[in-house]
Amino acid sequence: MAKPNVITKEDLINSAKECLIQNGIEKFTLRSVAEMAGVTQGTIYYHFKTKEQLYLDIVNDICTKSWKEISQQSNPYSLSEAVESAKSRSSYDSTFHKLFLSLIVSSFNNEKMRKQLGEIIQKENNELTKKLLSVWSISPINGISIEAWGIFINAIVDGIALQALVQKDFPVDKTFKELELLFKGLTHLLNKGD
């Protein structure tokens, strides 16, 4: 029996994430989300006009929750938990990055979607910059702003995730371990200059 149309958007996003985990992006439908949430398809369309809008809201929700968890970590001056969070979403079967990259491709022909994805990426860049500012008081390399480091790191993480999606044997653990060593080396350079 369907629940009344008194369901929050957040509950629907959580049901949609569960559907993605169970069915994969290839078999994901708004009908399956409605069934999982116990509501009508009309309720889904009321909150999300298109499947792509639901996808965007899922990506935004995952990113927002990840950064919230990272900001509440035990050692605010460590990048280890941020690296571990990124690594957890980078694999050959990563639902998150399949969804994210599918949206990017779709957005090339949809300016509204492109703008929304740009806002999500900018939010990630800003969160990375804040995280870096908690570790570095200044940039470890003269002439490169901490804001640019945030952009670079976000691009590196997305690039690693892309390679992991297309190469079954991609060395995710080794690559992220070495990325963390890069951060430690940059921090060491900065501390050496003090």
CATH at residue 17: 1.10.10.60
| 157 shares its domain with 99 | yes
Q: Which domain range does residue 37 map to?
A: 1-48
Distance CA 24, CA 51 (A): 14
| 36 shares its domain with 16 | yes
Mean pLDDT of 160-187: 94
- Kindly state the tokens that stand for 177: 């371990």
Is the pLDDT at 101 greater than 70, yes or no?
A: yes
pLDDT value, residue 1 = 42
Is the pLDDT at 95 greater than 80, yes or no?
A: yes
| 16 shares its domain with 109 | no
- Kindly state the tokens that stand for 135: 């570790």
Please, what is the average pLDDT of the chain? 88
pLDDT value, residue 135 = 85
CA dist 80 → 16, 38, 179, 183 (Å): 29, 39, 10, 9
Helix extents (H) in 72-171? 80-88, 95-107, 111-135, 146-166
pLDDT digits (tens, 9 = 90+) for 32-89: 999 999 999 999 989 998 888 999 999 999 888 888 877 776 565 567 777 888 898 8
CA dihedral 128, 130, 54, 89 (to 10 degrees): 40
Mean pLDDT of 82-110: 89
Angle ∠(124,177,154) on CA atoms, nearest 5: 15
Banded pLDDT at 150 (limits 50, 70, 90): very high
Single-letter residue type at 75: N
CA dihedral 31, 33, 37, 39 (to 10 degrees): -30
Q: How many domains does the chain have?
A: 2
CA dist 186 → 93, 123, 194 (Å): 31, 23, 13
Which has the minimum average pLDDT: 65-74, 98-107, 148-157?
65-74
